[in-house]
Structure 1
Amino acid sequence: MRVLLPDLPEFHALSGHDEHSVPGVELDFYSQEHVPSGEAEGAVLWLARGDTREKLLRTPGLKWVLTLTAGIDHVKPHLPQGVALFNANRLHDRAVAVHVAALMLAAMRGLHRFRDAQEEGRWTSTRTPNDSGLHTLDGQRVVIWGYGHIGRILEGLLAPFGVQVDGIRSATPDHQRDGLLSRADWVVLLLPSTPETRGIVNAEVLGKLKPGAWLANAGRGNLIVTDDLLAALDSGQLGGAALDVTDPEPLPESHPLWARKNVIITPHIASTTTDLVARGASLTRDFLLTLQQGQEPEGRVTDGQQY
């Protein structure tokens, strides 16, 4: 079995002769500049974009693809018929949940404002606690829209802060969803990008939120209609937003979201950790060993599955 892997040291270790290797599998390595020719049974995608991704997916003899990035919306539409697709979403889940919790805590404690003041060398204080704009999460209602594995981890992380968590799933009726949104202090978006979810958070939905509620997005930027988000921030309908993803992305330097004092933006790095590549290589090793044993690995994407 020949498999194409990312040209990274952590993946090269799989071709060694120690406990990290995968004996009996021919491994070859691709980069953004070079994709090896010839037949291969499988390909592991890691930040393979544009022409590189297209070349990998057109590999002769390809039977399966394992994508190590979060989501499948960048792969599935381009997948040749008959090629099995596997995802590794759980590789990213805990880091994403931790990042969302961090954004929420930073927003409530005004850490973004104090960081700005630090860079300016300015000591900021308030005359009374009442005008501080500082809060805790104690007693707040958090609605997780797209409640799955990440949502369950996030709920566990937030539990010590005394929040009440409600989940919205695809099967949640609209009237129940709207009721939850109207009572939420925080709405956390963990949805994938699908034809049904693109632009789902628009002026109508934002208008149903409790005035002053906060919105967090670690799903996909195009879940939110950005112009409607800006309007809700300017009117005070939204208390603020904590965004790891935006639309457009990357966010242009001149974009008005940057200037909003009640917005925290991180550059689509919720799943990033220093050991992410090593964990991806370890997952790949387990995946290949499972295949060698004649078993099907976890994470196979079904025909109707969009994420």
Structure 2
Amino acid sequence: MRVLVPDLSEFRELRVEGVELGFFSRDEAPPGNADGLVLWFASPGLRRELLGRPGLRWVLTLTAGIEHVTRELPPGVTLYNAHRLHDRAVAVHTAAGMLTAARGLHRFRDAQRAGRWETTMDLGTLDGKQVVIWGYGHIGKILEELLTPFGARVTGIRSRTPEDERDAALSEADWVVLLLPSTPETKGIVNAEVLARLGPGAWISNQGRGNLIDTDALLAALTSGHLGGAVLDVTDPEPLPEGHPLWAQENVIITPHIASTTADLVARGAEYTRAFLSEMTAGREPEGRVEAGQAY
């Protein structure tokens, strides 16, 4: 079985009986057919070329999301998702952002940069706070486990949750955490109407996709004081350009789409690939198969 994998040292060290590895960089790949593809760190152009390789039977994407692959996946090619590679890191990042906001650490950092000894900030905790996790899947369940010891009360909702049930949960939320994938149905799902349903002072945390939120509506809710603030690992547009008004919001914490990043991510990705290929060559079905219409 010939499998194309990223040209990284951790992947070059892989040895799986019955598997011939070919290595692609961001923009270049070796010629020839491939039975399988481990997709990671490829440019959009190379990704499309790799997905069109003759003989391709399956694709394992090591990215957190799959929408960029499902749009281009040829018919008859099986897709696998490695959500387990990223779930805990994203959940930890989300919890860290919420705790940072609750304790006002971002404002203390601003005061530090200005050389001010600021002691008059309104500080809180997550104790007793109602947290709505919108996109209650693998990551959401881990996040609930992390937040429970801090006294948070968690309600999980999904994109298919009935609208009246969803709106009732949102109206009581102190925090709304977005972990939804980007689909035609979820694009702009957090609009001015949804934001208006949130109680005064509620916070938004988005680790899903930037286009889940109507950015203009978010800015309006922030500047009016209706929202307490926002923690954003993803934005629309992305990357967020220099001079964008979100940068200037004191009650917004922005990270550059790195919620799933860890120092050992590539090593863990290579080990995940080794285990996946071992299952495949042993004739067993690896975990993570994506069924038609499924999204993470």
Same fold (TM > 0.5):
yes
Q: How does 1:165-180 map to 2 (within 5 A)?
A: 165-180=154-169
Conservation of the 8 A alpha-carbon contact between 2:159 and 2:186: no
Structure 2: how far apart are the matches of 1:86 and 1:148? 17
Aligned letter for 1:137?
L
Structure 2 partner of 1:232 = 221
Aligned letter for 1:298?
E
**Corresponding residue to 2:125 among 130, 136, 139:** 136
- Count of residues in Structure 1 that have an aligned counterpart in Structure 2: 296
Gaps of 5+ in 1: 15-20, 127-131
**Corresponding residue to 2:136 among 131, 144, 147:** 147
Structure 2 partner of 1:112 = 106
Once the 2 structures are TM-superposed, how far is the Cα of residue 5 of structure 1 from its aligned partner?
0.4
Conservation of the 8 A alpha-carbon contact between 2:59 and 2:79: yes
Structure 1: how far apart are the matches of 2:281 and 2:139? 30
Structure 2: how far apart are the matches of 1:135 and 1:298? 41
Deviations for 1:88-129, whole angstroms, at most 9, x for unmatched residues?
A: 112100000000000000001111111122223222122xxx
Q: Secondary structure at the match of 1:86?
A: strand
Structure 1 partner of 2:76 = 82
Q: Secondary structure at the match of 2:96?
A: helix
Once the 2 structures are TM-superposed, how far is the Cα of residue 214 of structure 1 from its aligned partner?
0.4
Conservation of the 8 A alpha-carbon contact between 2:27 and 2:43: no
Q: How does 1:1-307 map to 2 (within 5 A)?
A: 1-14=1-14, 21-126=15-120, 132-307=121-296
Structure 2: how far apart are the matches of 1:107 and 1:303? 38
Conservation of the 8 A alpha-carbon contact between 2:27 and 2:42: no
TM-score by length of structure 1 reads 0.94
Which aligned runs of 4 or more in structure 1 are off by greater than 2 angstroms?
Answer: 119-122
Aligned letter for 1:74?
H
TM-score by length of structure 2 reads 0.98
Once the 2 structures are TM-superposed, how far is the Cα of residue 52 of structure 1 from its aligned partner?
1.1
Conservation of the 8 A alpha-carbon contact between 1:105 and 1:137: yes
Once the 2 structures are TM-superposed, how far is the Cα of residue 55 of structure 1 from its aligned partner?
1.5
Conservation of the 8 A alpha-carbon contact between 1:203 and 1:228: yes
Aligned letter for 1:232?
A
Q: Secondary structure at the match of 1:143?
A: strand
Once the 2 structures are TM-superposed, how far is the Cα of residue 302 of structure 1 from its aligned partner?
1.1
Deviations for 1:246-283, whole angstroms, at most 9, x for unmatched residues?
A: 00000001100000000000000000001111111111
Identity percentage over the alignment?
A: 70
Once the 2 structures are TM-superposed, how far is the Cα of residue 47 of structure 1 from its aligned partner?
2.3
Q: Secondary structure at the match of 1:75?
A: helix
RMSD (CA atoms): 0.9
Structure 1: how far apart are the matches of 2:8 and 2:295? 28
Deviations for 1:203-243, whole angstroms, at most 9, x for unmatched residues?
A: 00000001110000000000000000000001111110000
Structure 2: how far apart are the matches of 1:116 and 1:9? 39
